[in-house]
Amino acid sequence: MSKARALSGIQPTSGSFHLGNYLGAVRQWVELQDSHDTYYCVVDLHSLTSGVDPVKLRESTLASVAQLIALGIDPEKSTLFIQSHVHAHNQLGWVMECLTGFGEASRMTQFKDKSAKSGSDRTVVGLFTYPMLMAADILLYQPQYVPVGEDQRQHIELARDLAIRFNSSYKDIFKVPEGYILKAGAKIYDLQDPTSKMSKSAESASGLIELLDSSTANTKKIKSATTDAGREVKFDSANKPGISNLLTIHSALSGRSIAELEVEFDGKGYGDFKGAVAEVVTSHLDPIRERTNELLQDKGELTRLLKIGAEKAAAVADETVRLAYDALGLIPRG
């Protein structure tokens, strides 16, 4: 039997992924590779919605691909590609925009939050239509599952609605995908503000563990993580969010249970515990950083892998566009 298809995307927002991206998403993408027919896309076009620095975009797109491979996405198992390499995303994106109601798009909470922050004159239209491009990213590949974080639930819902709308208005072409909401257990919080999710958009980078940062920098951040006035290493996210977050991080990387760690650190101070967390984190990240740097030194090989990925992706995506265009009455070029 053929494997069910899963597709996901990640933005190349900056030079390095952080631990939250890895534990919250990419690690599960890696696991899905054996059981599913996986498509993973670095969504560079989506990044154009938040201000463009061409030098940085170029760098961070390649660094994202290299990090995905270093983290275990295997280009032989998965179709790994860059969104802008497959023109079908823009083609179907427009179709999705023409199927979406203005009010419907206005209700997307991520758009509302982001545009409220920057004001309507500084918000680009692309941010408004972002969910329709995302729907195209998904529907082009006819996946059964879309593994994403909880924050993307509404976007997946829109993609499903648009698939159903197209299928019932024109022709039954699109598979209606299911969100595959990633385990909340792997939710990683900011080290300085352990009640907010670890995120690139945090005010300060000091709460962020970046995959490509030096061990020294990450150790320093972990040692200065916010804790509480108590002294017990215990999981209690309401009263001890900082310590709970560090326990989650340790457990996620070491594979040991939180209960086991609580016993091990019983009676030891926060200093010892933080030292152990730093050790686990850096010993995991060192080889990933080295592998990423090696890959980035061989641009020729990265380009070759991306070309293969784009060709595989385009073969599927172009066929979907052909079917959709035809169903809409657009005349083929002949």
Please, which of residues 41-70 interact with ligand TRP by CB under 6 A? 43, 46
Encoded one letter per residue, x for contact with ligand TRP by CB under 6 A and - for no contact, window 14-43 reads -----------------------------x
Encoded one letter per residue, x for contact with ligand TRP by CB under 6 A and - for no contact, window 102-141 reads --------------------------------x--xx---
* Number of CB atoms found within 10 A of residue 198's CB: 24
The kind and range of the H/E element at 8 are strand 5-10
How far, in Å, are 83, 107, 132 from residue 154 at the CA level?
21, 10, 12
CA distance from start to end of the chain: 36
Question: Taking contact as CB under 6 A, which single stretch among the options 148-156, 168-176, 307-315, 326-334 is the one that binds ligand TRP?
Answer: 148-156
* Burial grade of 246 (CB within 10 A; 0-12, 13-18, 19 or more): buried
197 annotated active-site = yes
41 beta partners: 9, 81
Could you tell me how many residues make up the chain? 334
Q: Does 313 bind ligand TRP (CB under 6 A)?
A: no
Alpha-carbon distance of 201 to 208, in angstroms, equals: 10
Q: Is the Cβ of residue 132 or residue 252 nearer to ligand TRP in the bound state?
A: 132
Sign, Cα dihedral of 314, 170, 132, 183: negative
Residue 260 Cβ vs ligand TRP, minimum distance, rounded to whole Å: 32
Size of the site for ligand TRP (CB under 6 A): 13
Residue 146 Cβ vs ligand TRP, minimum distance, rounded to whole Å: 5
274 annotated active-site = no
Alpha-carbon distance of 94 to 176, in angstroms, equals: 19
Q: Is the Cβ of residue 138 or residue 225 nearer to ligand TRP in the bound state?
A: 138
Question: Taking contact as CB under 6 A, which single stretch among the options 4-12, 65-73, 248-256, 308-316 is the one that binds ligand TRP?
Answer: 4-12
Residue 310 Cβ vs ligand TRP, minimum distance, rounded to whole Å: 16
Residue 143 Cβ vs ligand TRP, minimum distance, rounded to whole Å: 8
200 annotated active-site = yes
Beta sheet of 79-82, edge-to-edge order: 79-82, 37-42, 5-10, 145-148, 178-181
Task: List interacting residues with ligand TRP (CB under 6 A).
Answer: 7-9, 11, 43, 46, 134, 137-138, 146, 148, 152, 155
Return the active site residues: 114, 197, 200
